[in-house]
């Protein structure tokens, strides 16, 4: 009997020593499965958010080293999933209806761009500078009621600014009916120029397929909008007009002047780029451009590298 009790005690001790370990292993396994499920669920949520959100990083499109080595680079540039375009246009149109009927007010701000430039005050910075100008705004201001014209400017400024930010660009300022934006180009000039060009094409698409269809349906008969865009690349000086952080910061430089002038010579819903941008674009994109023939009386800018007349290219 004593031997049987001893064996029973030994068996009980083995079970006691074994069961906790087995239980812990089961708990760990369950936790691991739970974590994986949570990660899968979180990953799905992130994919949905990335598809619906109005901005995303464009730095993952392709690496700096495969600028020309990857034969699929152009396809990835043109078709990259920065946002689902149809969803983007739908969101803008819903918002635009609310703006037209006073249910929503824009809160357009240049704070993000000012915060970026604050780190470069009193220094030169390489940028792709973009001017986006509303076509025919002077005539519209003379023919339309003040309230309607004000809405047009607000819609144009806010919707195109959000496109700039979706491509990780920065809005520098608003000058009347024009938006001035910039894309840092010091790290990878090729990527920055390609990104700025794709941003400009998206801005035109938003005007044609997002804003104008709503304006055409509105009972107040808003006019169709068009935009002309000019871009150049180079160094600009960041200057702050004041001594505290809240003072406005502006850019001064040759590319700023060139971009402003070429925009005035650009046709409706067209993009014009200076030679500094043109030579950095992906080779397959160059077929979309032709050299702009400008009279000498209208264009006196010099290429600082060659000391020859600065070449400008516009979309065909």
User: Which residue is listed with tokens 């094409």?
Assistant: 201
End-to-end C-alpha distance for the chain, whole angstroms: 103
pLDDT tens profile 21-42: 444 444 444 444 444 444 444 4
- Burial category of 156 from C-beta neighbours within 10 Å (exposed 0-12, middle 13-18, buried 19 and up): buried
pLDDT at 254 over 70: yes
Handedness of CA 186, 51, 213, 220 (dihedral sign): negative
pTM of the model: 0.71
Q: Which of the four pLDDT bands, split at 50, 70 and 90, describes residue 18?
A: very low
Q: List Cβ neighbours of 285 (8 Å cut-off, separation of 6 or more).
A: 74, 77, 194, 197
* Reduced DSSP (H G I as helix, E B as strand, rest coil) percent helix, strand, coil of the chain, to 5: 50, 20, 30
Cα 132 from Cα 111, distance rounded (Å)? 19
Q: Which of the four pLDDT bands, split at 50, 70 and 90, describes residue 212?
A: very high
Percent of the chain with pLDDT over 90: 54
Radius of gyration of the chain (CA): 28
pLDDT tens profile 70-125: 344 444 444 444 445 566 666 666 666 566 666 546 667 899 999 999 999 999 99
């Amino acid at each position: 009997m004593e031997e049987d009790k001893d064996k029973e005690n030994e068996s009980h001790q083995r079970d006691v020593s074994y069961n906790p370990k087995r239980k812990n292993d089961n708990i760990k396994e369950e936790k691991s499965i739970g974590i994986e499920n949570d990660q899968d669920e979180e990953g799905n949520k992130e994919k949905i958010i990335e598809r619906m959100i109005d901005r995303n990083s464009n730095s993952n499109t392709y690496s700096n080293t495969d600028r020309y080595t990857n034969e699929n680079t152009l396809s990835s540039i043109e078709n990259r999933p920065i946002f689902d375009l149809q969803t983007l246009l739908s969101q803008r149109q819903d918002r635009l209806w609310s703006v037209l009927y006073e249910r929503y007010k824009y809160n357009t701000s240049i704070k993000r761009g000012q915060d970026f430039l604050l780190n470069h005050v009193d220094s030169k910075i390489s940028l792709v500078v973009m001017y986006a100008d509303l076509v025919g705004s002077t005539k519209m201001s003379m023919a339309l009621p003040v309230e309607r014209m004000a809405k047009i400017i607000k819609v144009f400024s806010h919707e195109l600014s959000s496109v700039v930010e979706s491509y990780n660009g920065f809005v520098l300022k608003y000058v009347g009916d024009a938006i001035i934006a910039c894309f840092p180009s010091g790290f990878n000039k090729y990527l920055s120029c390609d990104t700025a060009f794709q941003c400009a094409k998206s801005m035109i698409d938003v005007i044609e397929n997002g804003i104008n269809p709503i304006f055409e349906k509105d009972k107040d008969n808003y006019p169709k909008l068009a935009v002309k865009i000019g871009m150049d690349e180079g160094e600009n000086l960041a200057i702050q007009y004041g001594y505290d952080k809240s003072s406005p910061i502006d850019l001064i430089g040759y590319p700023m002047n060139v971009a402003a002038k070429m925009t005035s010579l650009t046709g409706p819903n067209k993009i014009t780029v200076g030679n500094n941008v043109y030579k950095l674009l992906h080779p397959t994109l160059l077929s979309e451009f032709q050299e702009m023939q400008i009279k000498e009386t209208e264009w006196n800018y010099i290429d600082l590298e060659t000391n020859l007349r600065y070449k400008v290219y516009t979309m065909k």
